[in-house]
Amino acid sequence: MRREIPLLITGFVGAVYIVSFFIPALGFVETVTTDWILIIQAFAIWLGALNLLKINLLKLSTGKKDRVYAAVVIVSFLVMAGAGFAPLLRDGRDYQAAGSSFAWLFDAFYVPLNATMFALLAFFVASASYRAFRARNKEATLLLLAAFFVMLGRVPLGDLLTAALPDGWRMSSWADVIMNYPQLAGQRAIMIGIALGIVSTSLRLVLGIERSHIGGE
Amino acid sequence: MPQLSFADYAAIQVGALLTFGIVSFLYKDNPFYKLCESIFVGLSAGYWFVVLFWENLVPKLYDNLKHALAEPTTATGSLSIEWLYLFALLLGILMLLRLVPKLGWLSRWPLSFVVGATAGLYFITYLQSNALRQLQATLVPILNFTDMASGKGPTSTLNAFFKQYLGNAVILVGTVSGLFYFYFSKEHKGWFGRSARVGIYFLMITFGASFGYTVMSRMSLLIGRIDFLISDWWPALMGGWM
Amino acid sequence: MLAGALAACLLLIFDATAQEATAPDAVVTAKDRGSDAGGVIELSWAAWELPADVARFEILRGTSPEGDFETVAELPGTDSGYVDETAVDGQDYYYIVAALIQTGGHPFVAPTAGPARSSAQWFNTSRLNQFIIGAVISLAIVAFIWAARSGRKLFVRKIAGLEAVDEAIGRATEMGRPILFIPGIQDMDNVETIAGLTILARVAHTVAEYETTLNVPVSRSLVMTTARESIREAYLAAGRPDGYSDDMVHYLTDEQFGYVAAVNGIMVRQKPATCFYMGAFYAESLIMAETGAEIGAIQIAGTAQPAQLPFFVAACDYTLIGEELFAASAYLSGEPRQLGSLKGQDVGKAMGMIAVAAGVLFLTLSSLLPGVDLFRRLADIVGGLFQVN
Amino acid sequence: MLEKLLALDRRWIFLLVIVALTLPFFLNLTCKSYVSPEVRTLYDAIDKLRPNSKVLMAFDYDPASEPELNPMAEAFFKFAFTRRLKVIILGLWPQGPQQADRVLERVFADSVFGAMNLQYGVDYVNLGFQSGNEFAIQGMGSSIERVFPRDVRGTVTGDIPIMQDVKDFSNVDFVFNLSAGYPGTVEWVQVAADRYGVRLGAGNTAVQAPLVYPYLGSGQLTGLLGGMKGGAEFEVLTGFPAKANKFMVSQTAAHMVVILFVIVGNVAFFIVQGRGRKGRGEV
């Protein structure tokens, strides 16, 4: 029973969902299930949050050197959650209102942390290009050449180097052609492959052949 | 520089400190980074905890059930569709039973629901938007003789030249050989292997090109942070607050 | 199978042309929208010849041709159609469309259109081709699963990234360092995440046999719960139930970059010997893979996010490209039934390739020989097969 | 020595990247670039508008695209204000209108524009964010006030002087859309330009721009600024060279650092490989 019912649920829900796509009267299935998933996620995040708090409380109690960081995690979490739930006290819903402490925390902490972490990519694209773009073999050479021409074609230098060629035949045009033809073709093969992979995986799930998400055989 | 309020001033200073803290990771792991990391994890977990409550639970569950209680039946006398959300409530509660060791297995029900719905949704959407749309886009004549005969289509630029002559053939060969590479049930030997090889070459050009294409926009993200430090933070540091 | 699908599409195309016939003198047409759940009538006045300076249109609706018309909509002067979504099924409606002129002159009024009656269809015929293609691929997959179950031997080519899984786990064991597994940053409502977790289950099985430490930080609570289930069962199946602990899987934060910040920390502090990235990844892919490369870990990645594949290919030792991610769990399981499904996928690919080749051939021929109508028609049939709406 | 170069500590790369990006901020460099036709088209279209014409600016991006799009917005504001145009701001991305405020703050910090004494509500207005994506645009086709009932300051739209004779798109002389994705330029083209015949120009991130190029050729789009390069060109053309030019130099410099490293890495690799071949007869 512990395994059969979940398998039945997956199969039934998946099958109904697929069928509803072809039957106009079942159009509501999509909206309702989308909402339900959002609701399940909203319940489940309590499990995650409690897990985060538990792990950091444990770290705090072990008395190791970096327990201070565990304390920081807990305090940050509670401060943010506290600020966000404050409207409950006055029966409001505008938790992100301008001027609220939640909005201030978001602007002062969340935005710069997020933007800076994202910006680290500027460094990592540089170091990854240095290591990866070497003409080790035929494949790597193609990778290198495509990247090289597209990169050069996107800064004025590329056109400058090929200034002798007529307008429309300079390096920025090479870059465009690489993007518009071979790049597009490769992308298409990948996307079609993915679609078939997903169709097959979905089918395995609906048929109950793939069941490791509920704990395997 | 106009004088800032204390709240704005403090936000800028905090932002700058956090920026430096995260960037310091590039040199090596250090307590300053660890501090920023811990703040980030705690704060953002709290943020999403709150957002999911206000954006999912309240409008989707609470409001719908409230509506069902207020208007239990529709004008035609049948039960309101909002009553269906009782099932969502049930599934949510089953999820939380994970916290009760003896009843934890019941949380597989909502999980199976999510997995089933996802499988169904992806089956359809990917068949549609990835497979069929992409195949359809590949349906173009290798050479458009009609256009060529009528003298249409300028070939004065490289792009136009490809559009007119080579482009469609490249796309066709690339797409089909790429699919050869993904073929699982045949060993990549002989002519089949050679086709798959061509497919790999196309994939490599694809990866190189899209990598190179992205470099510039990644640089602009960092420019944004540097600009924040130079145009916002430094003047604020010098200017103080009201 | 292909022939069957083609025949069905032929039918579809001819069927569609038959439906489009309307009275020749009607300026405004009103008819039920097909393939829907009812309640919708479509109006079109594309054939109506009007001066260029129409300011706006007014749409009036009534339930009898003689009387009581009410305004249901006002539209900009550039429109040539309207979708009335407020119809009641089975009720006859009559429509009057009035074109108001910018200069304020007398409006043009079209003759009353109707009666039109909305109704619900039980099957969405505009998606028939998708139904057929979906069904054919599904049948192929099921057929091969069936064949595999009854003992037919199936060949599946080697996938380099997966051949390396055992070696990578073995290396971590030798070095006495942990294994890091990242199942992407999306939730269970993404098939890539599910595929990532099925791979996790196989990896965990091997890890349990090697008695190595496994660390799975996650960014979604549902993923946490599911990953725990999978790993526990894998340890049980490997005969080491006591080796499992819930702490192997721990939640960090739902925030993309907050999660990466923490994973980076874990990497440089615990120095895992092997890192797996299997699931849906976005901009964080390169941040993690570069940090992993810096600590010298063997890295095996797999994702179906085309935009992130270049970064994994550049920074990881092995990358499962798109479809390979979905094949991985079947491949690693070695179960005949699962392998059968891979064969089914290939049938889909073969069909796609043949159809595209044929379509392109027909189109090229039709452009070469514009006088021969046959090729254009054949090309239209192939195009109709892939029609999406 | 070369082997060392091949296994270079990546922190040297990081250092060079940050130097390349930061240095241009302190140098007075401009990237010499000729003006692309699509930038010129946008300039001409605005230049031809009569004083007091209404221009609608849609801010459809979030802080991640700030470095690319804010300079375009700034140059556009300055240009519009010097031509005495009236500017109506709105956004289909939640954080868009805030970006407009940040840019305006910078514009007015410039003494020239500070001295113009432009009045909120008379010379410009910020109607804020509205959800609904392309449906919001469609709604504006029949009534802007219905889609944006109040401005960001809570004033009823109908009471704002600048909005007095603005009912729908027909009262707007030009729309300038700053876009980083969906909803964005594609939707503005499809709904505002195609259905309501609005004259539309756009500024896009470098990643986004190729997707909307086709609309230029067909005339659905009157001018396009693509990425920092487009922004820099527009700044030069309007006579307000500012951040985009500076950023452009930074971006190009960092790009060059990456390309340089790729070349150096390959040269070193080939030399080392060549040596290995001579020494051991095998690589």
Residue D193: how many other CB atoms lie within 10 Å: 23
For the stretch B38-53, pLDDT in tens is 999 999 999 999 999 9
Decide if C148 is inside a domain: no
Q: Residue C20 pLDDT > 70, yes or no?
A: no
C277 plus C354 within the same structural domain: no
Whole-angstrom distance, CA of residue A148 vs CA of residue A152: 6
**Reported pTM:** 0.88
For the stretch D67-119, pLDDT in tens is 899 999 999 999 999 999 999 999 998 888 888 998 998 899 888 998 999 99
Please name the amino acid found at residue A162.
Answer: T
CA distance B3 to chain C (A): 32
For the stretch C260-307, pLDDT in tens is 999 999 999 999 999 999 999 998 999 999 999 999 999 999 999 988
Interchain pair A156, D252: CB under 8 A: yes
Q: How far apart are the first and last CA of chain D?
A: 18
Residues in D lying within 8 Å of B, measured between beta carbons: 11, 14, 17-18, 21-22, 25, 63-64, 66-68, 109, 205-207, 227-228, 243, 247, 250-251, 254-255, 258
Whole-angstrom distance, CA of residue D152 vs CA of residue A29: 38
pLDDT at B114: 94
The reply to whether C229 touches chain D by the CB within 8 Å rule is no
Whole-angstrom distance, CA of residue C66 vs CA of residue C114: 12
Nearest alpha carbon to residue A143 among C237, B105, C181, C315: C315
Please name the amino acid found at residue D131.
Answer: S
- 8 Å CB contact between B204 and C310: no
Integer angstrom CA distances of residue C186 from A43, B127, C218, C330, D26:
17, 21, 9, 21, 41
The reply to whether D122 touches chain A by the CB within 8 Å rule is no
Nearest alpha carbon to residue A113 among B79, D254, C190, B43: B43
Q: Which two tokens stand for residue C12?
A: 């579809």
Q: Residue C344 pLDDT > 80, yes or no?
A: yes
Alpha helices in B53-84 (DSSP H): 63-70
- What residue spans define the domains of chain B? 141-242
C200 plus C314 within the same structural domain: yes
Nearest alpha carbon to residue D87 among D106, D105, D73: D73
What percent of chain B stands above pLDDT 90? 60
Q: Residue A166 pLDDT > 80, yes or no?
A: yes
Residue D32: how many other CB atoms lie within 10 Å: 8
The reply to whether C260 touches chain A by the CB within 8 Å rule is yes
- Residue A169: DSSP 8-state: S
End residue of a domain, out of C78, C95, C122: C122
Whole-angstrom distance, CA of residue C289 vs CA of residue B223: 23
Beta strands C54-62 and C70-76, pairing class: antiparallel
For the stretch C69-79, pLDDT in tens is 888 888 877 77
C204 plus C309 within the same structural domain: yes
Whole-angstrom distance, CA of residue C338 vs CA of residue B87: 33
| Bond before D214 cis per omega within 30 degrees | no
Decide if C197 is inside a domain: yes
Question: Which residues of chain D have a CB within 8 Å of the CB of A123?
Answer: 13-14, 17-18
Which 3 state secondary structure label does DSSP give A58?
helix
The pLDDT-based confidence of B155 (bands split at 50, 70, 90) is low
Interchain pair C76, D10: CB under 8 A: no
Q: Which two tokens stand for residue A87?
A: 């409207």
> What's the rounded mean pLDDT across residues A94-120?
89
Please name the amino acid found at residue C274.
Answer: T
- 8 Å CB contact between A76 and B46: yes
Q: Which two tokens stand for residue A9?
A: 């649920």
Q: Would you list the DSSP string of C312-323?
A: HHHHSSEEEETH
Decide if C73 is inside a domain: yes
Whole-angstrom distance, CA of residue C180 vs CA of residue C211: 14
The pLDDT-based confidence of C246 (bands split at 50, 70, 90) is very high
Chain CA centroid to CA A113, Å: 17
Q: Is C189 exposed, middle or buried (0-12, 13-18, 19+ CB in 10 A)?
A: buried
- Residue A212: DSSP 8-state: G
Element (H, E) at B145: helix B145-149
C185 plus C326 within the same structural domain: yes
Q: Which two tokens stand for residue C213?
A: 């430490």
Whole-angstrom distance, CA of residue C385 vs CA of residue C336: 32
Q: Which two tokens stand for residue B228?
A: 């924040």
The pLDDT-based confidence of D33 (bands split at 50, 70, 90) is low
Whole-angstrom distance, CA of residue C329 vs CA of residue C205: 12
Nearest alpha carbon to residue D66 among D88, D98, D26, D39: D98
Q: Which two tokens stand for residue C223?
A: 């993923």
In this complex, the residue of B217, B220, B230 whose CB is nearest that of residue D25 is B230
Question: C202: which residues sit within 8 A by CB, 6+ positions away?
Answer: A212, C165, C234, C329, C332, C333
Question: C156: which residues sit within 8 A by CB, 6+ positions away?
Answer: B184, B185, C331, C339, C342, C343
The pLDDT-based confidence of B1 (bands split at 50, 70, 90) is very low
C131 plus C105 within the same structural domain: no
Per the listing, tokens 């769990």 go with C329
Nearest alpha carbon to residue C228 among D178, B242, D171, A216: A216
The reply to whether D197 touches chain C by the CB within 8 Å rule is yes
The pLDDT-based confidence of B10 (bands split at 50, 70, 90) is very high
C303 plus C242 within the same structural domain: yes
What CATH number has the domain bearing residue C197? 3.40.50
Whole-angstrom distance, CA of residue D129 vs CA of residue B221: 24
Decide if C21 is inside a domain: no
- 8 Å CB contact between C91 and C50: no
For the stretch D218-255, pLDDT in tens is 788 999 998 888 999 999 999 988 888 889 889 989 99
Across-strand partners of C299?
C275
The reply to whether D36 touches chain A by the CB within 8 Å rule is no
Decide if C152 is inside a domain: no
In this complex, the residue of A125, A144, A157 whose CB is nearest that of residue D258 is A125
- 8 Å CB contact between C80 and C99: no
Which 3 state secondary structure label does DSSP give C213?
coil
C317 plus C258 within the same structural domain: yes
> What's the rounded mean pLDDT across residues A31-52?
93
- Residue C111: DSSP 8-state: P
Instruction: Please tell me the total count of domains within chain C.
Output: 3
- 8 Å CB contact between C44 and C28: yes
CA atoms within 13 A on the CB side of D112: 7
In this complex, the residue of A45, A174, A193 whose CB is nearest that of residue B158 is A174
The pLDDT-based confidence of D277 (bands split at 50, 70, 90) is low
- 8 Å CB contact between C326 and C304: yes
For the stretch B93-108, pLDDT in tens is 999 999 998 998 899 9
Q: Residue A213 pLDDT > 90, yes or no?
A: no
Element (H, E) at C301: strand C298-303
Residue A26: how many other CB atoms lie within 10 Å: 16
Question: Domain of C271?
Answer: 158-334
User: Using CB atoms and an 8 Å cut-off, which of residues 202-221 of chain B contact chain D?
Assistant: 213-217, 219-221
pLDDT at C11: 46
Q: Residue C199 pLDDT > 70, yes or no?
A: yes
C294 plus C376 within the same structural domain: no
Range with the poorest average pLDDT among B131-140, D119-128, D269-278: D269-278
In this complex, the residue of C189, C218, C324 whose CB is nearest that of residue A37 is C189
Decide if C23 is inside a domain: no
Q: Which two tokens stand for residue B19?
A: 């920026």
Neighbours of chain B (3+ CB pairs under 8 A): A, C, D
pLDDT at C21: 38
Range with the poorest average pLDDT among A202-211, B7-16, D213-222: D213-222
Give C163-166's long-range contacts (Cβ < 8 A, gap of 24+): C164/C298, C164/C300, C164/C317, C164/C318, C165/C202, C165/C203, C165/C206, C165/C300, C165/C332, C166/C206
Question: Which residues of chain A have a CB within 8 Å of the CB of D269?
Answer: 134-136
Q: Which two tokens stand for residue D105?
A: 């703050």
- 8 Å CB contact between A49 and C254: no
| Bond before D183 cis per omega within 30 degrees | yes
Integer angstrom CA distances of residue C341 from A7, A66, A182:
18, 49, 30
Across-strand partners of D91?
D129
C130 plus C70 within the same structural domain: no
pLDDT at D27: 84
